[in-house]
């Protein structure tokens, strides 16, 4: 499984791609459905600031969380 940072970067790239596609779709909509609920939602998606999600996460982000968790081995159990 790819690292979290790689997954985050790929997800963000996909969101930007989708937003560009929706901007194109919204721009090609005929005038009559321009006032429709779909057109309203497309405009809202196009206005989203995806830049706030472009976090510069440090390498190794999230790995320390799992390092704190230890699973006891059968010989280490104390009663």
Would you say residue 19 lies in a domain?
A: yes
Instruction: Give the range of the structural domain holding residue 8, as residue numbers without chain letter.
Output: 1-25+37-51
Q: How far apart are CA 23 and CA 30, in angstroms?
A: 14
pLDDT > 60? residue 64: no
- Looking at residue 14, its pLDDT comes to 95
| Number of domains composing the chain | 1
Q: Which stretch of DSSP H or E encloses residue 23?
A: helix 4-28
* Nearest-10 Cα torsion for 38, 43, 47, 48: 0
pLDDT > 60? residue 71: no
Would you say residue 32 lies in a domain?
A: no
Q: Is the Cβ–Cβ distance between 26 and 43 less than 8 Å?
A: yes
């Amino acid at each position: 499984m790819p690292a979290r940072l790689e997954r985050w970067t790929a997800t963000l790239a996909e969101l930007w791609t989708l937003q560009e596609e929706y901007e194109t779709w919204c721009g090609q909509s005929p005038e009559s459905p321009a006032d429709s609920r779909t057109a309203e939602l497309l405009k809202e998606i196009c206005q989203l600031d995806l830049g706030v999600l472009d976090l510069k996460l440090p390498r190794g982000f999230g790995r320390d969380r799992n390092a704190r968790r230890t699973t006891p081995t059968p010989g280490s159990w104390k009663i």
